[in-house]
Structure formats: structure tokens, C-alpha cells
């Protein structure tokens, strides 16, 4: 693989297609097994994520046992009931109609963790922003998600679960931080739009609403930005 060469038009288009068609998969998982070579490619892509100070703080726990998935699903169910109770009645009713996980349906689960001590007490690039190890691990999650989409494998991030339950079920030491529990499997379809947008839960903001120039809230003053 030539890391230094330019991307062809087709390669560049494929990258953008992957980004724009990535979806959170919950109810579309097929029972088909994910072949080992495909799973390894996806995990290797995650392992090649950027990490501040090249600390590579992540680990990946692979979950395939039905018994383990059942325990995780029960932990989700408890957390989901607690979450629903925090919304106003109409919103809570809409919330309960959503399928927010595929723990038992997906053939593979992957828990991505962060070892905050892996690179020692002083880490290049983390001296003034101590959470860069957490952010680096999230980059690994994104790499995994995009690689999976390119392989035709769906991913669903289960965030409605207590970290302590993940620790308990998966035997994660106290000093290790669970970052994401991901459900992986081939999907019957990928939604044209994000499912929450499709169901009217939220809409995507216009990019212009998220842009500022030179400072927070700064307006663009001219075609050359006054440079």
C-alpha cells in the first residue's frame, strides 16, 4: 500500500461515499457470521487510528457468546428504562418506540477500551489536554465504523449502558475505561438517512450553522477573510 501517493478520483469518491453512507445499525442485523479475515481487516483499520503521542491506548474485546450478550442486553434494558423516564411523556413514548440496540441480534460485539496509563505519566501531546487518550480511542471507533461500512458490515454503538456494567460483564479492570460497546454484523439494508432523522427524532443541522471564522461566533467578513 502506497501511503504517499495521490488518491484516484474513484478512491476519493469511495472515501466520501463511505463517510456519507455510514449508519448506526440496530434492527437490520443478519445472522450471518462475519468471516475472520473481514473482522481482522476492520480491527486492523481501528488499530491504525491516529493517537496523540502515538500512545495507542485502545484494546478490543470481542464478544460472540450468547450468554455474554444476554447479560449485556439485560444491563441495557435497565439503563434504557432509566433513560426513558428522564424524558417528558410524549418524548418518552417516542423514545420507547425506537430500537436502540442490536446486542443479541448482531453476530459480533466489540468493546473498545482505553488504558489511560499505557504511555506513562507524561505523554507527548497530552501534557495540557489530558483527555487526548480518550479522544484518540474514539478515533479508533470511527476508523472501525468506516472500515466496517466499506466491508458491508453494519455497526451500532450501544451507549445506553452503564460503564460499570460493561466492566462487570466483560471483566474490565477498574483502571481501564470502557469507551464504546459496538454491535457488528452484516445488515439487510443501510438507511438512506440516519434512522433518528428518518423517524423525526432530530434533523441534521446545516453546516453553515456550525461555522465561525477566526473566533467563536465570528462572521466571514469577505472572500479573502481579510487575510
Average pLDDT over residues 55-77: 98
Domains of the chain (ranges; CATH) run 25-188 (3.40.109.10)
Residue 103 pLDDT grade (very low, low, confident, very high; cuts 50, 70, 90):
very high
* Residue whose C-alpha is closest to residue 180's, from 105, 113, 83: 113
Question: Under a CB-based contact definition with an 8 Å cutoff, are residues 104 and 27 in contact?
Answer: no
Residue 182: partners with Cβ closer than 8 Å, 6 or more residues away: 109, 110, 111, 112, 141, 144, 145, 155, 156, 157, 158
Query: C-alpha 92: how far from its chain's center?
Result: 24
Average pLDDT, the chain: 95
Q: Does residue 226 carry a pLDDT above 90?
A: no
Instruction: Tell me the per-residue pLDDT of 18-37, one tens digit each, with 9 for 90 and over.
Output: 999 999 999 999 999 999 99
Q: What percent of the chain has pLDDT over 90?
A: 95
d(CA 59, CA 56): 9
* pLDDT for position 220: 86
Q: Does residue 109 carry a pLDDT above 70?
A: yes
* pLDDT for position 2: 74
Average pLDDT over residues 110-123: 96
Instruction: Tell me the per-residue pLDDT of 197-212, one tens digit each, with 9 for 90 and over.
Output: 999 999 999 999 999 9
Instruction: Tell me the per-residue pLDDT of 147-179, one tens digit each, with 9 for 90 and over.
Output: 999 999 999 999 999 999 999 999 999 999 999
* Residue whose C-alpha is closest to residue 134's, from 42, 31, 24, 55: 55
Q: How many CB atoms lie within 10 A of CB 40?
A: 11
Amino acid at each position: 500500500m502506497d501511503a504517499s501517493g495521490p488518491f484516484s478520483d474513484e478512491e476519493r469518491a469511495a472515501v466520501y461515499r463511505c463517510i456519507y453512507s455510514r449508519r448506526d445499525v440496530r434492527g437490520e442485523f443478519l445472522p450471518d457470521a462475519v468471516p475472520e479475515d473481514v473482522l481482522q481487516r476492520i480491527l486492523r483499520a481501528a488499530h491504525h487510528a491516529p493517537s496523540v503521542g502515538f500512545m495507542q491506548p485502545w484494546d478490543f474485546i470481542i464478544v460472540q457468546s450468547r450468554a455474554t450478550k444476554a447479560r449485556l442486553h439485560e444491563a441495557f434494558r435497565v439503563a434504557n428504562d432509566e433513560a426513558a423516564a428522564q424524558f417528558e411523556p410524549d418524548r418518552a413514548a417516542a423514545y420507547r418506540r425506537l430500537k436502540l440496540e442490536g446486542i443479541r441480534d448482531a453476530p459480533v460485539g466489540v468493546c473498545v477500551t482505553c488504558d489511560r496509563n499505557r504511555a506513562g505519566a507524561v505523554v507527548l501531546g497530552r501534557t495540557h489536554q489530558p483527555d487526548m487518550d480518550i479522544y484518540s480511542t474514539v478515533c479508533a471507533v470511527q476508523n472501525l465504523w468506516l472500515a466496517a461500512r466499506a466491508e458491508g458490515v453494519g455497526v451500532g454503538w450501544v451507549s445506553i449502558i452503564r460503564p460499570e456494567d460493561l466492566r462487570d460483564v466483560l471483566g474490565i479492570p477498574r483502571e481501564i475505561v470502557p469507551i464504546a460497546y459496538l454491535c457488528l454484523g452484516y445488515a439487510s439494508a443501510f438507511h438512506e438517512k440516519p434512522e433518528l432523522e428518518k423517524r423525526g427524532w432530530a434533523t441534521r443541522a446545516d453546516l453553515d450553522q456550525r461555522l465561525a471564522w477566526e473566533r467563536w461566533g465570528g462572521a466571514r467578513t469577505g472572500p479573502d477573510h481579510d487575510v
